Structure 1
């Protein structure tokens, strides 16, 4: 009996020792795979990177940083089918839990892939909003959302994201960020040629035009056909190009083809504006009274002012809302809305205020002329030069945009 017990104990010790020996060997092998992956990264051999990182993660599956690198390797490996590479990269990032410190980076990376590779801005925006709700100052997340707004015809929403990005931008890079913001403000349709080229909508040999934007917006709609956002973006393009009938036709089709379009403020705002432009005031008021979500923000207040003025003839309310609109971006540069305010003041019997408002609107209209912006764009090729800093400061001061004027002025004092 004693012999059998000791034999059993010896076998147990051997088994445990063998297990731990195997475990140590496996972990050692995995760490060697990580070293080989790091070497492959330096040589930009993404096939080797993903093979070695896969071996490492088989042993250390909780290493979220390594999983992020594996996702990057899938995305960059030119030997793989692009769609499969994106799918595998996204699959890896979804293993990273919300509690991980690497989760914000994973969200941003996944959003980039949905936006730039899969052409799915709605899905990308949902991811970014979810992440920014918990990490509002995340620089990468704010930057991608800023660009997403540009690419979907909603650059007027990007100012908070731009400001957070700028606050974290090193002094040497601030001129470039301010140049990007100027283009977002005044040339959003063509502000991101590198991104349009990346997504296949722009050839550098071609002249940039509004047609590039339409191709992009239609591709977004095709890739996410049930997203009200994408349908509204295409419809708004036609509206801004002076074709409200085509715009309304597209919006009416989208009412039957998309998920809850009347719960999307951008869709509803586009629909109301088009109905107003076509003289369908009763329908415009019907949709305005059913506005989804918070009754605030630039789009809501702007439409409220126009409808109170032109449809309801409530001039005092219209004046209050017009004044609210022109106090924030992009109303500060919208000379058309300021002319509307001037006419509304006349209707309300305030000729003196109307004249001063008309003069201000004329000043802003002249500042929007191409002969003002063309030399600025030429000089912005080297935005760190003192000459352009001074001219941009003056331009923004004339426009009444103190934040931007101060930022450009500060650059003249940077050594």
Structure 2
């Protein structure tokens, strides 16, 4: 069986830095094939994606990824621990992934690996220190990095871990490693250094000709349309974005959801809000107190007003997403999330990906879903609701877009720039049906 490398992505949108990551992942692992786990309509930092999950899956296939699997929204809109656990669980469940490759700022795992081994089981000393720091009003990312550093006795190592975990890709990388340990996975982790553009850079570096962060690319798109971002994204990304935007399907941003979000904030009672995920420590009171003076505010202004030293912008965005989608604390609890995803939802594949699916039919530990109606699962129902809520933000949403997950099978690309329509691969229907039912 050919070697397979897994990558965990959002592609918001897919840019030249992602192409570099994909190419280096295959080169470093020596893998012939690649499986990507991709977030759906709402992302890890709590924001809506620029484009639909289908458009972003198509970008991945155009780049060369063989099989694209959706990360359920229960895990996609979560802090690093559960985002990583959900995504790694899917790669493990395929039964065919040999390597996991991800980017870090340093390109090294020499301190993250031993730390992950310690944190894979509950560490009382770290948890106590974390709780103490949070009680002081320190935000979670800063408190977590400080608490983790206490597990090292060497002063230099303490300082390095503290520095590493204040960088987002190292934090996510650590949680990928922890997830592999908790799952007892044989998947081998690999990392590559993030190329030049920093995670939060809002503009391209003048020293680079073709790499910019996703944040910078989105800023260029919102401010100057697709042409402004053209130097930093592949041609197929440009073409897919032009097609989607021309059809009124983007660019999507938080303000696209302002009306339904404000409606929910104004009509939910304090007790109803308190039941929703990420509405913690009395945030429902802060929301209700601010609403009278923010009833006509943008979502950005609402987030700015809610922001305090204790709560990061990301935590507040995730809270608003959970409110928008009515996600409760109970269904997003650690006990529930620890159960892991319940299925492998296929968004797209190429001819090599079809062969991988055939292998997975024998090796997968979870049902393979290519048709939404083929499986009944609470998480899948939430995925479908999120997709419908996202499509409802389009300029002129059509019923078929709102319920696309029910109507259309996965995207299939047979070769570069050859996207099959629904009818074009009807001959594969029996195979796909059998794969989802086994």
TM-score, normalized by length of structure 1? 0.31
| Structure having the higher Rg | 1
* Structure with the bigger percentage of strand: 2
Q: Higher helix proportion, which one?
A: 1
Considering Cα pairs closer than 8 Å and 6+ residues apart, tell me whether 1 or 2 has the greater RCO: 2
Provide the TM-score with structure 2 as the length reference. Answer: 0.30
